[in-house]
Structure 1
Amino acid sequence: MHFHVTILGTGSATPTLHRHPTAQWVMHDHDPFLVDCGEGTQVQLLRYRMRISKLKHIFISHLHGDHYYGLPGLLTSMSLGQRTEPLYLYGPRGLDEILTTHFRYSDTRLTYPLHFQETNPVAPEVLVESEHLTISSFPLRHRIACTGFLFAENPRYRNLIREKVPADASHEELHALKLGQDVRDAEGNIRFAADDFTLPPAPSRRYAFCSDTLYLPELAEHLEGVDLLYHEATFGEELRERALRTYHSTAAQAAQLASDAGAKELLLGHFSSRYKDILPLLDEAQKIFPSTLLAEEGRSFPIGYRTDSLADNLLDL
C-alpha cells in the first residue's frame, strides 16, 4: 500500500522565483490529501500531474496567507471543472467566513457541496477515520491559531503466506487467520494455526506535518516513533532570536524534536527567502539528527518502508 508525500511548496511568506509557498500532496493507497494551499498551488498540482478530481480532503494549518491564499482559486477551478463530488475542508475558525465572503462578492456558486470542519487549536482531535487511515490535528504555537496534522495507518491484518495458504480454506477461515485467530473444527481441534499460515502485520506507518511553530519539546511524546516528520525550519541557529520573536523554529530545533521523538526521518521546509543556499540548514540539522532531508518541490518522499522480498511472499486478501 503506497504511502508518500509530494512537496509542492517549500518557501515561507516572502515569494521567491525558486520556491512556492507551503503545500503538500499526501497519498495513501489511492487516496490523495492536500495539506495547506499557498498561492500557486493549483499550478503546482498541474505541473506534477496530480489528479484533483480524486481529491476529497483539504487541510489548512492556519490563516497566514502563504498557507491558504491558493485555496479560493483551487476551489473555484474545481467548480469550473463541473465537480459534483463533496469536498471536505478542515481548518481554523474564520476560514469558512473568508471563503463565504470571497464567493459572495465574486458571485461564485460552487457546483459541489463543500463541508467545513473547524480544527481545535488547543487539543488533539481526530478529523478523518477510514478503514485504513486516521488523520488528526494537534496544536502548534504560532502568532495565530495553528495546528499540525498526523496521518496514521490503522493496525493492519496479519499477512497470509502465499505458498502456505490452505487450498480448502474458506474465505471466512482465511479472514480469521488474518485476524490472528486459529481455525478450529467442529470438535474444537485446531485445523489451521494462525502462526503457521501468517506472518505479523507490517508496522503501521505515520506521517506528521508540523507547520509554522515555535520549538515545542512537548510534541516529542505525541509524535513518538513517527516514520517521517515534516517540520518547518524557517531560520538557522544564527537567527534563533528572530525565530523566537516570529514564532518560528530553526533547523537545529526541528532536528532536536525529531531526535527526542525517535522519528525515523526528518524533512525540513518553509525556508526563509533570505536563504539562497539551504544546504547550511541541512548541515545544521544533520549534526543533531543525521536522518534529515531537505524538502524539494516536485519530489515524493516515501513514508515508511517495506522490503520487496517480504511483500512477494505475502498474500493480501
Structure 2
Amino acid sequence: MEFELRILGSSSATPSTNRHHTAQVLTIGNQHHLIDCGEGTQMQLMLYRVKHQRICNIYISHLHGDHYFGLAGLISTMHLQGRQTPLHLFGPPGLSEILSLQFKYSGTNLNFKLVFHELDTTVYKKIFEDKGVTVHTIPMEHRVPCCGFLFREKPKPRPLIKEKLPDFLRPPQLVRLKWGEDIKDEAGNILVRNADVTLAPKRSRSYAYCSDSRYKPALLPYLQHVDLLYHEATFTDDLRERAAYTFHSTARQAGELAAAAQVRQLIIGHFSVRYKDLNPLLEEAREVFPDTELATEGTIFSVMERD
C-alpha cells in the first residue's frame, strides 16, 4: 500500500515567487489526506496533478492564515465540480464558524456534506480511524491554539506460508492465523501453531507533522521512532531568541528533536522569506541529524514497507 507525502507549500507567513504557503498531501492507499491548506493550495494540487476529489480528510493545524486561507476556495471548487462524497474537516475551534460565514454571504450551498471535527489542540488524542490508519493530535506551543498530527498504519496481518498450511483449514481459520492466533480444537489443544505457518508482519509506517511551535522537548514521547517527521524550521539558530519570541523553531532545534526521538528521517519547512538560499537551514539541521531533507514544493517522500 502506498504511503507517500507530497509537499505543496513550504513558506512561512508570506509567500514568495517560488515558495507557497503551507500545505501537504499524505497519500495512504487510495486516499489523500490534506494537511493544512494555505493560500494557493488548489493551484498546487493542479500543478502536481493531485486529484482533489480523492481528498477524504483535511486537517488544519491552527488559524493563522498561511495555514488555512486556501480552504474556502478549494471547497468551493469541489462543489462546482460536483463532489458528492462527504468531506471531513478537522481543525481548532472557530474554523467551522469562519467557513460557514464565507459560504453564507457568498450564497454557496454545497452539494456535499462538510463534516466538522473540532479539535482540542492541548492534548494527544485519536481523532480519526479507518481500517488501515489512525490519526492523533499532537499539542504544539504557538501563539494561537495549534496542534500537529500523527498518522500511523494499523498493525498488519502476518503473511501465510502456503506450503506449510494443512489442507483442513477453513477460510475463517486462515484469517485468525493472519492475525496471530493459533488454531485449536474444541478441547483447547493446538492443531496449528501460528509461528509454524506464518511470517512476521511488515512494520507499520508512521508520519508526524509538527506544525508551528516553539522548540518543545515534551513532544518526544509522541515522536519516538516515527518513519518520517516534519518539523517547522522558520529560522537558523543565530535567531533562536526571535524564534522563541515568535513561537517558532530553528533548523538546529528541529534536528535536535529528531535525534532525540530517533526518527528515521526528518524534513524541515515553514521557512522565513528572509532565506533566499535554504542550504544554511539544511546544513544546520544535518549537523545534529544527518538524515534531513528540505520540505520544498513538489518534493515527494515515500515511506517504504519493511520488515
Q: With the length of structure 1 as denominator, give the TM-score of the two structures.
A: 0.93
Match of 2:225 in 1: 225
Q: Which whole-Å CA distance do the structure 2 matches of 1:187 and 1:96 have between them?
A: 57
Match of 1:70 in 2: 70
Offset from partner CA, 1:99-150 (integer Å, 9 cap, x none): 1111111111111110111111211121101111111112101111111001
Counting matched residue pairs gives 307
Q: Which whole-Å CA distance do the structure 2 matches of 1:170 and 1:32 have between them?
A: 36
Match of 1:292 in 2: 292
Match of 2:138 in 1: 138
Q: Do the aligned partners of 2:136 and 2:150 also contact (CA within 8 Å) in 1? A: yes
Q: Do the aligned partners of 2:252 and 2:285 also contact (CA within 8 Å) in 1? A: yes
Cα 1:188/1:127, change in 2 over 3 Å:
closer
Q: Which whole-Å CA distance do the structure 1 matches of 2:167 and 2:54 have between them?
A: 38
Q: How much has 1:271 moved relative to structure 2?
A: 0.8
Match of 1:267 in 2: 267
Q: Which whole-Å CA distance do the structure 2 matches of 1:285 and 1:163 have between them?
A: 49
Cα 1:214/1:187, change in 2 over 3 Å:
closer
Q: Which whole-Å CA distance do the structure 2 matches of 1:261 and 1:74 have between them?
A: 35
Which aligned segments of 4 or more residues in structure 1 are displaced greater than 4 angstroms?
165-168, 185-189
Q: Which whole-Å CA distance do the structure 2 matches of 1:217 and 1:90 have between them?
A: 25
Q: Which whole-Å CA distance do the structure 1 matches of 2:165 and 2:297 have between them?
A: 44
Q: Which whole-Å CA distance do the structure 2 matches of 1:253 and 1:183 have between them?
A: 51
Q: Which whole-Å CA distance do the structure 2 matches of 1:283 and 1:170 have between them?
A: 57
Offset from partner CA, 1:226-253 (integer Å, 9 cap, x none): 1111000010011111111111000000
Q: How much has 1:160 moved relative to structure 2?
A: 1.4
Q: How much has 1:35 moved relative to structure 2?
A: 0.3
- Does residue 280 of the first structure (1) align with residue 280 of the second (2)? yes
Residue identity in the other structure for 1:200: A
Q: How much has 1:212 moved relative to structure 2?
A: 0.5
Q: How much has 1:82 moved relative to structure 2?
A: 1.3
Q: Which whole-Å CA distance do the structure 2 matches of 1:15 and 1:296 have between them?
A: 13
Q: Which whole-Å CA distance do the structure 2 matches of 1:248 and 1:289 have between them?
A: 19
- Does residue 99 of the first structure (1) align with residue 99 of the second (2)? yes
Match of 1:313 in 2: none
Q: Which whole-Å CA distance do the structure 2 matches of 1:71 and 1:13 have between them?
A: 16
Give the 3-state SS of the residue equivalent to 2:217 in structure 1: coil
Q: Percent identity over the alignment? A: 49
Q: Which whole-Å CA distance do the structure 2 matches of 1:292 and 1:265 have between them?
A: 6
Q: Which whole-Å CA distance do the structure 2 matches of 1:119 and 1:50 have between them?
A: 26
Residue identity in the other structure for 1:85: T
Q: Higher mean Cα deviation, 86-95 or 164-173?
A: 164-173
- Does residue 127 of the first structure (1) align with residue 149 of the second (2)? no
- Does residue 51 of the first structure (1) align with residue 51 of the second (2)? yes
Q: Do the aligned partners of 1:155 and 1:204 also contact (CA within 8 Å) in 2? A: yes
Unaligned runs of 5+ in 2: none
Q: Which whole-Å CA distance do the structure 1 matches of 2:286 and 2:48 have between them?
A: 29
Q: Do the aligned partners of 1:120 and 1:138 also contact (CA within 8 Å) in 2? A: no
Q: Supply the RMSD in Å over aligned alpha carbons.
A: 1.5
Residue identity in the other structure for 1:290: P
Unaligned runs of 5+ in 1: 311-317
Cα 1:143/1:186, change in 2 over 3 Å:
closer
Residue identity in the other structure for 1:299: T
Match of 1:193 in 2: 193
